[in-house]
Chain A
Amino acid sequence: MKALNMVLTGVGGQGLITLAATIGRAAVLEGTHVLIAETHGLSQRGGSVEVYVRLGEVNSPLVPPGGADIIASLEIIETLRNLRFAGLSTTIMTDERLIRPNIPGISVPEVEEALKQLRSTGLRVMLIPAYRLAEKAGSIIAANMALLGGMLASGLLEGYITRSSVEKVISEMPARWREVNLKALDLGYAHVEALLGRR
């Protein structure tokens, strides 16, 4: 099975490691090989986070610049920062939420400017309002699952993991987050289905 390379990005605390581990457990359920490289330690403290997920025939954990099939992001500045991983056929799935880096006196672009810049690249971009969808599902903590729902609906994960195995993994999570996560996954899925004109 050809390798599928993903870069998941955002800010420490947004649930990217949980997102990656959910994909990983679903892959194990499907019998798909997977390697996930995470950033720990200092980077957890509100810094940039990049998680690399590789599915299929892979023996090493990192994604090369230009080698990502999917860049999935919960924060728009981090989306732009990680465009180096984009190749000609990369799909970018991102929330448009912008979180100000905590540096005194730093100048931060407007969301509109960031979106304009992103679109100017000519890459395939799908905006997923993961935070808004998660809030609707019951808690912004589930924004990662809304993003995952969108990724599943895009069809890019087909042959690697299925929605039902992801739901099975979520159903093993602590009870208080199960419902909201499943709901967020569903809303993210429906959002991208609508984007693709399937709903």
Chain B
Amino acid sequence: MPSRILGRPGEKVLLLGNEAIARGAVEAGLGWASAYPGTPSTEIVETLHSVSKDLGIHVEWSVNEKVALEAAYAAAISGVRSLAAMKHVGVNVAADPLMSSAYTGVEESLVVVSADDPGMWSSQNEQDNRWYGLHAFIPVFEPYSPAEAKDLTRDAFEFSSRMHHPVILRSTTRLSHTRGPVTLREAKPPVAKGSFKKNVQRWTVIPAHARRLRVELLERWGRIEEEVEKLPYNRLEKHSGGQAIIASGIAYGYVVDALNYLSLRDTVSVLKLSTTVPIPRKLVLDVLSSHESVLVVEELEPVVETWVKRIAYEEKLNTTIRGKDLVNRIGELTLETVTRAVAGFTGAEYPWKPAEAEITLPIPPRPPTLCPGCPHRALFYALKRAVNRSRVKAIYSGDIGCYSLGVMPPFEMQDALIEMGGSIGMANGFAHVDEDKMPVAIIGDSTFFHAGVPGLINAVYNKSPMLVVVLDNRVTAMTGHQPHPGTGFYATGEPAPMVKIEDVARGVGVKHVATIDPFNLKDSEKKLMDAIRYVAEEKKPAVVVARRACTLLIDAAARRRGITEPLYIVDQDKCTGCGICYNAFSCPAIIPLKNGKAEIDPALCTGCGVCAEICPFNAIRLARKGDPEWEKLWF
């Protein structure tokens, strides 16, 4: 992997959009990169991690996006070319330093990558972060392909350096997670060390300074508006047909393909926009004044469309301007939706006719699911029993992570779920207004460090009775196994100081702190019931840490090291077909047979053995013992 982004100049390699962004940063002489993992942004800094030693640059997984951006900002104002990457909702977490970074500007490049998720493939919303650019006065660059992502990232660093101003590089899921050929160019030697020059007038935004900085910001914005006109990524492909399409970011690729399929590539003009904030006014004016009608194609919100209409109004042009009346505003753009919009705009005929293949068979859905051997499944099972046996009514306050899948049957134990760290934050509110119920906050290890800790401090201070269950699977699992402050290692594999969740909880004043192994159901159930009793009686928060590593890590480690995993089978004579293992516990490795009895798929079984604990008829037994080394892998 690392070798691919560190290939020779001139070499053409297949890169994921996110890898291309990482390579672009390397070509620009990047010295600092920080991020909190979040789909679809994760691979940018993951890739930079893989080359950090070769290049001698600082790359880190930060505790959250706010810290990632603050640290990158500090590096940038100390003269180091810096990058902070995050998913779109991560920018909300980092919005505070983002706004101020525009006021002060920077000494060297600061590129903030916002990877938006139109279509909400793995997110809670599809906010369009180009608004942040308008809101904060930070230019937004939007590439359309992996190859352009590499070049535009490199040039975003140059632009930021030249203007002494941060730049937002906006990617989307379909760019970040698209692979394409990328030609590598010469990389500048990285500079990882800088020197901060004290200048309180510039670097402290106390009101007296901020008032002056705001004036300077608007002056600088005027210069930025001039500069974006000169970027070669914005270009007008002019034809004489009287119709033009303005396409921003990834929309350009769809528009070109649509025009090719509609045989209109040589008729309809295309203004390719890679800087959507600020918009290159002269180019837009050229399009508006030389065409009768213009279609704006952009993903999500009508950001460009609004500006184009404003320019037309200010210049008193009566060009027809269309946009979101033809292009979908909800969900991502697709070749289908863009081709339909372009066909509607031009009057051409939509080219694809699906086969008339009538499907009468009901096709069952296949939502994502907790993996076989996932410790979260065992925890949900034990927690549900503990809550029922304690005779409390629980509000399961949910959070972002693999355990969000607990919203699905059979557990249905995520009653409210809005954002990172919200489980504990919301529990503070539930605790005081709905006293008939007990808030049970369910939060992962990485999420706890990210934004859970302030909520827990609040619960101690404001005496909010709640049970906080921290599902510590020793890694940031959902985004692909990145380390965090609780894991004790870095992305390079080197050992790191370990921050213990129990120590944090006790340190902020939680008096009832317990640790459980979710694979030990009986003990887990008992300790969860103890904690519930404490919360009910003492009216204070309790924390239970459920510690078992992500099964995928163990599976991979066992395979790599040739360690045999245990294997369980169902004794068909003892199985009564009660369905507890495949319905109530719902392990994907347990398959219901036609007669209702259970069978274990040996290819899927990870040997966790929890099903054998829950089977009321002792019908599930060990078929193959695991290596003694296997148990040690887990902790």
Which positions in A face B, CB cutoff 8 Å? 3, 11-12, 20-21, 24-25, 27-28, 33-48, 57-67, 77-78, 80-81, 83-88, 90, 100-109, 113-114, 117, 120-123, 140
Contact = CB atoms under 8 A, between A and B. Distances in A.
A102 B363 contact: no
Interface of B: 12-14, 16, 39-40, 121-122, 144-146, 174, 177-181, 250, 252-254, 256-257, 260, 334-336, 338-339, 352-355, 357-371, 402, 405, 408-410, 478-480, 582-584, 586-588, 591-592, 603
A5 to B, nearest CB: 9
B177 to A, nearest CB: 5
Given A61-B180, A104-B583, 6 more contacts: A12-B368, A38-B178, A60-B335, A103-B365, A103-B408, A121-B359
Contacts of A113: 361
Contact of A11 (B179, B254, B334, B366): B366
A4 B145 CA distance: 18
Given A38-B179, A47-B369, A140-B603, A87 B363 contact: no
A60 to B, nearest CB: 4
Contact of B366 (A60, A66, A101): A101
Given A46-B588, A84-B354, A101 B364 contact: yes
Contact of A41 (B13, B179, B478): B478
6 contacts: A39-B121, A45-B370, A47-B368, A60-B256, A108-B364, A121-B358
- The 9 A-B residue pairs with the shortest CB-CB distance in the complex, in nearest-first order: A41-B122, A66-B354, A121-B357, A60-B253, A41-B39, A47-B368, A66-B352, A45-B368, A59-B253
Contact of B355 (A46, A48, A64, A83): A83
Nearest to A140: B603
A36 B181 contact: no
A83 B359 contact: yes
A84 to B, nearest CB: 6
B369 A46 contact: yes
Contacts of A44: 368
Contact of A64 (B14, B352, B405, B603): B352
Most B CB atoms within 10 A — which of A21, A28, A64, A84? A64
Nearest to B367: A47
B178 A28 contact: no
B39 to A, nearest CB: 4
B405 A25 contact: no
Given A62-B334, A80-B363, A45 B583 contact: no
Contacts of A46: 366, 368-369, 371, 588
B179 A60 contact: no
Contacts of B16: 38
A123 B357 contact: yes
A60 B337 CA distance: 13
Most A CB atoms within 10 A — which of B13, B16, B362, B368? B368
A193 B362 CA distance: 33
B257 A60 contact: yes
B145 A59 contact: yes
B14 A77 contact: no
Contacts, number: 186
B559 to A, nearest CB: 10
A12 B98 CA distance: 36
A50 B79 CA distance: 44
A117 to B, nearest CB: 4
Contacts of B145: 35, 59
Nearest to B589: A102
Contacts of B181: 27-28, 33-34
Contact of A61 (B253, B367, B410, B480): B253
Given A28-B181, A38-B179, A83 B357 contact: yes
Contacts of B368: 12, 42-47
B367 A20 contact: no
A40 B361 contact: no
Given A39-B121, A86-B354, A102 B369 contact: yes
Contacts of B409: 103-104
Contact of A117 (B174, B254, B360): B360
Contacts of A61: 174, 178, 180, 253
A67 B588 CA distance: 34
A47 B405 CA distance: 12
Contacts of B256: 59-60
B363 to A, nearest CB: 5
A101 B362 CA distance: 13
Given A61-B253, A64-B336, A104-B582, A42 B355 contact: no
A108 B364 CA distance: 7
B353 A88 contact: yes
Contacts of A33: 180-181
Given A46-B588, A59-B253, A104-B409, A37 B178 contact: yes
B335 A67 contact: yes
Nearest to B254: A60
Contacts of A101: 364-367
Nearest to A3: B257
Contacts of A64: 334-336, 339, 352
Contacts of A109: 361-362, 364
A25 B14 contact: yes
Contacts of B371: 45-46
Contacts of A36: 178-180
Nearest to B250: A60
